[in-house]
Structure 1
Amino acid sequence: MSDSLLNVHIQHTLQTVHGKMPMEITLSLPKGQILAITGPSGAGKTTLLRQIAGLLTPENGRIAFGSEVWFDSAEQKAISPQLRNVGFVFQDYALFPHLTVEENLFFGLKKGSDKSIVDALLRATDLSNLADRKPNQLSGGQQQRVALARALVRKPALMLLDEPFAALDYDMRYHLQDMLLKFHRQHQLTMIIVTHDIGEIFRLADQVAIIENGKIARQGTPAEVYAHEQSQTGDFVIFGEVLSCVSHADQLLVSALVENKVRQLTLPLDLAPEMIPGNTFTLRYPMDSARVMLIRH
């Protein structure tokens, strides 16, 4: 794509529980768009983010961001992570344990930047009253909010988010999704987010890519990808166990164990009889494309 900001074409070998698996990814992302990446565990989603950020070097290929070449195996070129204008929100938070919440944010601030953004992000993430605490004094959800705020404080050209809202309850997750969208609009951020939440994909993403066995199986708008998947290969299937379920704003907010992780799902009210805590379930998407689209604001 001629208007693409990020262009990736890499080959790598993934080490999985089943042995070695070849990974080959080609994708392009225009400036200002949000790409959601989803797919089964072990397919290469986190590996791809780490390669783009420069934290892991692909075996072969090329990664370019605008006019900058970040990685080129043919030229033996690999730009260090510090020189890539990337904000990364890790699954394990990666906070500095000896720094307070506020100090973690200031550490991420570029020299000469307006320091008022630190206070603004502390307020937006509901962390102002925790600013003097250190990470070991915070819950997992609180640490995840600090990690998100620290990544945003740099106003990076590219944001990479690895399941950033997985540990949060519905209200905080929805609030931070809303904050992320506002930040995205204000600063025209380009983002890639790994998520298993279909509602989150429809709410946040311009494009979605499903990675299976180290390759992109389908890519397009959320409506295109899931409509295509339904018509060609059957519905997208999620298996899980219900942990909790409440109704809120004409939707079901379901906490479920999916792929050995706790996921937060937003579902139609008419699924309530199946969403009893302790029950196992099978969900097929799109159950109703028009209805699913309503959760994107």
Structure 2
Amino acid sequence: MIKIDISKQLHGSNGLMDLDINADIKQGEFIALSGLSGSGKTTLLRILAGLEEASGKISVDKEVWLDGKNSLSIQKRQIGFVFQDYALFNNMSVEQNLLYVNKDKKLANKLLELTELKQLAKRMPNTLSGGQKQRVSLCRALMNSPKLLLMDEPLSALDPNMRMKLQNEILNLHKEFKTTTIMVSHEPSEIYRLANRVLVMKQGKIIQDGNPTEVLLKTSGSQKFSFEGEILDIIKTDVIYIAIISIGQQLVEIVLCEDEAKEYKVGEKVRVGTKAFAPTLSKI
């Protein structure tokens, strides 16, 4: 069990704000941290890792990591951290990057086999693709058998196909090692596939806590689906208007009447849904 009860003043997306987090996390849970940029997600990860100070208390399996008097050093916290930028040692081979953390060659071989990297063990990081580098980074984070694995948007720089492949590998590793995991992500499909619990943050506070279905599915009434997107353009065609909307990696067209076209504007965030087989648009 991980108990978090911390506070810290920091600069958020709208100026100064108070990070105030109180949460209990069970052993083996896969937690997704979601919310707008600047809401405190990465800062929370850094506090858990011991990279930033905060007031309050953090305890892991009754071991105190942080209290009013002391802060356990990063090296003693038994955490694994996967960054966006891989953070590999370019002067070491793939295998050496793993063994730098822990000299357990058997564990290194197991991780490399699980992530299909065994044949690349002697390669240097600068000869690898982005997806391969991120797999090495993930393996290295698991080399010290961490009590807590922290991931800060680890797949955000990858293309959709590679992202999906690594999602599967992350899930397999999570099940294999039963490591408690906290991941920052803005991608709903990624959160739904990986996490069993979602914490939504806003202005330094947890405003929603539930399973992915409760948090992510926002249909209501007779709606069959609902997605959030951004209006890129509104084009007049004869007597109708067409809104071009970006949803994830795709663009969709929604037909609007003249009154609706006047109501919406380019750059506005909207929700696209459907009722009685007809697409509908609503403000967020």
Q: TM-score, normalised by structure 2?
A: 0.75
Alignment equivalent of 1:54, drawn from 50, 54, 57: 50
- 1:33–1:191 CA contact under 8 A, matched in 2: yes
- The residue number in structure 1 matching 2:28 is 32
Alpha-carbon offset, residue 282 of structure 1: 5.4
- Summarize the alignment of residues 257-268 of structure 1 with structure 2, pairs less than 5 Å apart: none
Cα distance between partner residues in 2 of 1:147 and 1:56 = 22
Instruction: Quote the offset at 1:6 in angstroms.
Output: 0.8
Counterpart of 1:97 in 2: which secondary structure?
coil
Once the two structures are TM-superposed, the CA of residue 94 in structure 1 deviates from its matched residue by 1.9
Match of 1:78 in 2: 71
- Give, in whole Å, the separation in 1 of the partners of 2:274 and 2:33: 20
Alignment of 1:5-16 (within 5 A): 5-16=1-12
Q: Distance in 1 between matches of 2:15 and 2:88?
A: 32
Distance verdict in 2 for CA 1:236–1:215, change over 3 Å: farther
Task: Give the Cα separation in 2 of the matches to 1:240 and 1:140.
Answer: 31
Q: CA deviation at 1:107?
A: 1.2
8 Å contact kept, 1:144–1:167? no
Q: Given residue 215 of structure 2, which amino acid in structure 1 is its aligned partner?
A: V
Q: Which residue of 2 aligns with 1:119?
A: 109
C-alpha displacement of 1:55: 1.1
Check conservation: 2:27, 2:180, Cα contact below 8 A.
Answer: yes
Distance 1:127 1:57, change over 3 A: same
Matched letter for residue 90 of structure 2: P
| 1:37–1:209 CA contact under 8 A, matched in 2 | yes
Correspondence 1:168-187 to 2 at 5 A: 168-187=158-177
Task: Label 1:94 to 1:171 Cα distance change in 2 as closer, same or farther (>3 A).
Answer: same
1:283 CA drift (Å): 6.3
SS in 2 for 1:78: coil
Instruction: Please name the residue that 2:98 is paired with.
Output: 105
How many aligned positions are there?
247
Give the TM-score taking structure 1 as reference length: 0.72
| Counterpart-to-counterpart distance in 2, 1:150 and 1:285 | 41
Equivalence for 1:294: none
Shift of 1:158: 1.1
Find the aligned partners of 1:196 and 1:19 in 2 and give their Cα distance.
21
SS in 1 for 2:183: strand
Q: Distance in 1 between matches of 2:246 and 2:130?
A: 17
1:207 aligns with 2:202: no
| Map of 1:250 onto structure 2 | none
Contact kept? 1:8, 1:28, Cα under 8 Å? yes
Matched, 1:21 2:12: no
Compute the displacement of 1:21 (Å). Answer: 1.7
Aligned CA distance change for structure 1 residues 137 and 126 (closer, same or farther; 3 Å): same
What is the percentage of aligned positions where both structures have the same residue? Answer: 41
Which stretch of the first structure deviates more once superposed, 215-224 or 121-130?
Answer: 121-130
* 8 Å contact from structure 1 (residues 10, 63) kept in 2: yes
Paired amino acid for 2:166: L
**Is contact 1:16-1:42 (8 Å) kept?**
yes
Residue 44 of structure 1: aligned partner: 40
Read off the aligned partner of 2:2 and give its amino acid letter.
Answer: L
Aligned equivalents of 2:192, 2:274: Cα separation in 1: 14
Does structure 2 retain, via aligned residues, the 8 Å contact 1:141–1:167? no
Alpha carbons of structure 1 residues 238 and 191: separation in structure 2 relative to 1, 3 Å: farther
Match for residue 191 of structure 1 among 157, 181, 184: 181
Once the two structures are superposed, residues 24-79 of structure 1 have per-residue CA deviations (whole angstroms, 9 ceiling, x without a partner) of 11111111111100111111111100100111111x11111111010002xx1100
Contact 2:18 2:204 in 1 (8 A): yes
Per the TM alignment, residue 103 of structure 1 is displaced from its structure 2 partner at its CA by: 0.7
Q: Secondary structure at the match of 2:134?
A: helix
State the shift of 1:18 in Å.
4.3
1:218 has 2:208 as partner: yes
What CA distance in whole angstroms lies between the structure 2 residues aligned with 1:31 and 1:87? 15
CA contact (8 A) 2:12 2:203 kept: no
C-alpha contact 1:88 1:160 (8 A) present in aligned 2? yes
Which of 60, 64, 67 matches 1:65? 60
Give CA-to-partner distance per residue, 1:196-241, whole Å, 9 cap, x none. Answer: 11111111111101111111111111122235x667xxx7844387
RMSD: 3.1
The aligned residue for residue 89 of structure 2 is 96
